[in-house]
Amino acid sequence: MDVFTFFFLGLRVFVFCIGFMGNIFLILSIIQTKFSHIKSFELFLMGLAAANLEEIVIINIYDVIILQTSSTAAGTWLCDLLKFLTMFGEICSILFTVIISIFRYQKLKDVTKRMSLPIYLDSIRSAWTLSGVCVMMSLLFCLPVFAINPQGSVENITRNNSGCPPDFFYCGKNHCPKLYLVYKYLFSLMCHLLPLIIVTVTSCLIIAVLLSQRTMVTPVVSVSPSSQLNRKTKDLRLTRSTVAVVAAMALFQIDWTLYLIFQWLFIPVDFPFMAEAEFFISTSYTSISPYVYGIGHNLFSLKNLKKMLFKSLL
């Protein structure tokens, strides 16, 4: 193992540990503090964290077992299964991010007129239904992995002779079926570019709403000091959680914009470390976002950490 390979492997392990602990802590924080009266947003966060966790675990198993060990014993079915599970977690994470961005915008939109009236996604039944739709859509988008296996797609791109390329969407120079190209670009457009556009638009709308609320002058009404304090506390929590959502959306936009640039403009043969670059781009959001959401929504706190440690010791 050369120096660069050892360095990238160590960095992968570090990113894995950070992402694994963050997503596990986010799930446990929601379960232990919110599960008795879980809301739609917490359910979406749990779905996002579960998808992130699945992707991080599978992509590291995929790399360590097949790529790093140069294992030729792994059959085509195992290679396709690991690709399917990796893509499934990736698309689930993207779709839950889209839902979170739309949900937050809907909660902020016309909040002064709507006051405390709920929106459609506030219903926990609607949230469960939408979560199930995300999982089913991810399955449908990833199932063609088992049917489409382009010949010659592993030419000169792997660091070893495993026969299981790190980039499923790379096609060999000598042979690339048209059906495979259609699937590649449809997948990129529907699962990467379209969600990126939706998240970017909703992020801009959320920022516009926040700016308009800061400049809005609210009429003075005669209310009790306790009501004013409760209202102020609620507004501060909403603003803090919204800022966390916007920060996570910005990270999402940076990551997947870079990913699409690498996918569409670079050729793995000309860029030997493309697999490593795509790994860190695609996993940076899944590893960092749970901390952004957890801190912004007061789920990552010393109080929750002590509570979980105390329960684990009992």
The whole-number pLDDT of residue 220 equals 46
Going by C-alpha positions, the residue among 148, 130, 222 that lies closest to residue 184 is 148
Residue 312 lies in a domain: no
- Residue 36 phi, psi dihedral angles, 5° rounding: -65, -30
Residue 226 lies in a domain: no
305: Cβ contacts below 8 Å, ≥ 6 apart: 25
The amino acid that residue 185 corresponds to is: Y
**Pair of tokens at residue 137:** 């859509």
Residue 7 lies in a domain: yes
The whole-number pLDDT of residue 131 equals 93
The whole-number pLDDT of residue 196 equals 95
Residue 313 lies in a domain: no
The domain tally of the chain equals 1
The whole-number pLDDT of residue 222 equals 47
CA 62 – CA 88 distance, rounded (Å): 14
**Pair of tokens at residue 181:** 């190209």
CATH for 10: 1.20.1070.10
Residue 103 lies in a domain: yes
CA 254 – CA 244 distance, rounded (Å): 16
C-alpha of 216 from chain center: 34
The amino acid that residue 300 corresponds to is: F
CA 13 – CA 61 distance, rounded (Å): 11
Q: Containing domain of residue 16, as a range?
A: 3-215+233-307
Residue 100 lies in a domain: yes
**Pair of tokens at residue 271:** 């860029």
Round the CA-based radius of gyration of the chain to a whole number and report it.
Answer: 22
From first to last of its 314 residues, the chain has per-residue pLDDT tens of: 567 667 777 788 888 889 999 999 899 888 876 556 788 888 999 999 999 999 998 887 776 666 555 544 445 777 788 888 888 999 999 999 999 999 988 888 876 666 667 778 888 889 999 999 999 999 999 888 888 765 544 444 444 444 566 566 666 556 667 777 788 888 889 999 999 999 999 999 999 888 887 765 444 444 455 555 455 555 567 777 888 889 999 999 999 998 888 877 776 555 666 667 777 787 889 999 999 998 888 777 666 666 666 565 55
Residue 148 lies in a domain: yes
Residue 227 lies in a domain: no
